[in-house]
Structure 1
């Protein structure tokens, strides 16, 4: 199962809207076939592993990180494929809460006389599937909020200089995290001031050749410059905007191939983040990596929509005149402050990365 989980992890950011699943088929400790959900979401892991194993799968054990599917979609049910291959035993890490499955795959295996063992490495599988589980059970993707600051919590000098606060090891880690998410998201202010590309770089030809995450901007009035780096080719761009965005801006961005997603606005006239995240979930996204800026970061935390916070910090100090990592949160009482659970720390060259999670 550890082997299957490692295979599944390779699919993160590459298989949405499907879950990243791994499958290992073995007999007496000898691996006969293995597979992971292919880029784009199909073929699924089980038929790929069965194809490798061939006739040797009969009487063998299949280890699968998520319950085999039991419904007909663009591919036949994986549970049926395991039955047809004649496996004797299936070890499942986690049940699939998708209403089209939700125990149906396991029932089908047992009805065929196959032994099913559940719950092996369930906690690890649940962590791996956090994005998919969020989309299925909450209707929205898992959101990872990334901040990179000085030791005193500043993201730039008063003049806006921010490159580079953290060192090359931390920046390389960020690109690896981008690659493990379906999309990278920023606010319109960051899109205008930083002119980011929001692409994965430095990880080899595979990501340069078309397995890049989507790029998402929240811009109520669609005021993203047409000459920005986002508009000069690259992975698809989605913009979440208010329903009252100027029609001229809609037409200009649509002509550039941008996907426009109208959303409700809140009492303050800003995009309603719960509606925006529900729209992304409806379109199949499971894992979104948010890179700012401070206003969007504060809004996500205040709304309880930041599931994970990855805080990179460098041993530099800017002082009070620097730009803070978080915008205003309107807190009058400490008791109202969002609370996160510490989940670990790692050293990246001269910098530190603190992991925080929302329970």
Structure 2
């Protein structure tokens, strides 16, 4: 199973489908084949492992399939993995995590009905960690929401004159771009579009666009200007004419978005916090003092310290002179996100 999890991590962290790995074992414990899911539209991990076994000349009849997620039981872009395993003559399936997707689950039941022995729950915690935001998004029926904040030590996102480039360091910005490359969508408010004219692209160390570009989502009813950088190279531009975070997430869920990064500004951040749909906060804090200027978070309607939004830090990283704090609302489950790590980080 540890090897299957290693294979699963090779799959993309973004996209509508989960990261899954599979290893086929013979009666003597020898590896007959292995595979992983490489993204939407490609063979699932079980089919990839069966293909690998066939190319090796391995006979998989009576084999054990070790897979990180319950084999699917539905026909989408590919056929049901549960039936493919049955038809291949696999005798036993060991899985880490049962599929939370009602459209795809049921593979274990189909396998058992066909006489295949099924064991579930091996290294389940590690399996959910590899699945990351996908698991929570599918379980809840809405995208996993990461709120990103980049601010001075006194909580400002810009100076009094509106200038904000750059509060945080190059190391923090590099890390943030790596995070963008892992999510399905980036959301900002229409006010941020007017004030900052962001491009909302994911760029590598050489400033070129990465292979995966997330959807660029503008929340609000004001049209994006014709000459805005959002209309330039990058991910698809999507405008959602609403100020209700629940409506925004429903629209993104309809587009099979599993992980959305809310980047700003203060008004949008406050709206998502008030709606209690923020699953994780990434706060990049720079050792800079401004004393005035807009705050990172807008009005939350909190009048007393007892009503404060309390977060629990789960990770703290050093990024050059800055600090990244990854936190979740109190009472939330242990985080399943895969934090982007760079060589400059120190815990």
TM-score (norm 2): 0.86
Decide whether the 8 Å contact of 2:187 with 2:217 is kept in 1: yes
How far residue 307 of structure 1 moved from its aligned partner, in angstroms, is 0.4
Equivalent in 179, 182, 188 of residue 186 of structure 1: 188
Secondary structure of residue in 2 paired with 1:291: strand
SS of residue matched to 1:93: strand
Deviation at 1:204, TM superposition (A): 8.0
Q: Does 1:87 align with 2:90?
A: yes
Question: In the TM superposition, what is the alpha-carbon distance from 1:162 to its structure 2 partner?
Answer: 1.7
The answer to whether residue 220 in structure 2 is matched with residue 219 in structure 1 is: yes
Structure 1 residue matching 2:157: 3-state secondary structure:
strand
SS of residue matched to 1:48: helix
Q: d(CA) in 2 for partners of 1:333 and 1:281?
A: 35
Q: 2: CA distance between counterparts of 1:285 and 1:62?
A: 30
Q: Is the 8 A contact 2:21 2:36 kept in 1?
A: yes
Q: Which runs of 5+ in 2 are unaligned?
A: 333-347
Matched with 1:248 is: none
Q: Secondary structure at the match of 1:184?
A: strand
1:296 and 2:268 equivalent?
yes
Question: What is the total number of aligned residue pairs between the two structures?
Answer: 326
Distance of aligned partners of 1:221 and 1:168 in 2 relative to their CA distance in 1, 3 Å threshold: closer
Deviation at 1:334, TM superposition (A): 2.4
Tell me how far apart the structure 1 counterparts of residues 252 and 208 of structure 2 sit (CA, whole Å): 25
CA distance in 2, matches of 1:303, 1:12: 29
Shift in Å, 1:232 = 2.1
Q: CA deviation at 1:117?
A: 2.1
Task: Give the TM-score taking structure 1 as reference length.
Answer: 0.83
**SS class of match (2:175):** helix
Q: Kindly state the Cα deviation for residue 86 of structure 1 after the two structures are TM-superposed.
A: 2.6
- Give me the whole-angstrom Cα distance separating, in 1, the residues matched to 2:214 and 2:205: 13
Compute the RMSD of aligned alpha carbons: 2.3
**Hey, what's the Cα distance between the residues in 1 that align with 2:296 and 2:227?**
27
The answer to whether the aligner puts 1:351 opposite 2:325 as a matched pair is no
The alpha-carbon distance between structure 1 residues 2 and 311, as it changes in their structure 2 partners (threshold 3 A), is: farther
Compute the displacement of 1:348 (Å): 1.8
1:267 is matched with: none
1:289-339 deviation digits (Å, cap 9, x = unpaired)? 1111111111111111110101111122111x1321111111122232222
Q: Distance in 2 between matches of 1:33 and 1:172?
A: 37
* Partner residue of 2:135 out of 123, 126, 133: 133
The 3-state SS of whatever aligns with 1:276 is helix
C-alpha change, 1:190 and 1:331, in structure 2 (3 Å) is: same
Partner residue, 2:35: 35
In 2, the alpha carbon distance for the partners of 1:4 and 1:120 equals: 11
Superimposed CA distance per residue, residues 239-258 of structure 1 (whole angstroms, 9 cap, x where no aligned partner): 1104xxxxxxxxxxxxxxxx
Partner of 1:122: 124
Q: Which runs of 5+ in 1 are unaligned?
A: 243-270
Q: CA–CA distance in 2 between the matches of 1:53 and 1:204?
A: 39
Matches for 1:1-359 after TM superposition, within 5 Å? 1-16=1-16, 18-27=17-26, 31-54=31-54, 55-56=57-58, 57-102=60-105, 104-202=106-204, 208-209=210-211, 211-222=212-223, 224-242=224-242, 271-319=243-291, 321-358=292-329, 359=332
Q: Cα offset for 1:11?
A: 3.4
2:341 corresponding residue in structure 1:
none
CA contact (8 A) 1:94 1:122 kept: yes
Confirm or deny: 8 A CA contact 1:185 1:292 kept in the other structure. Answer: yes
Q: For 2:230, what is the secondary structure of its paired residue?
A: helix
* 1:264 aligned residue: none
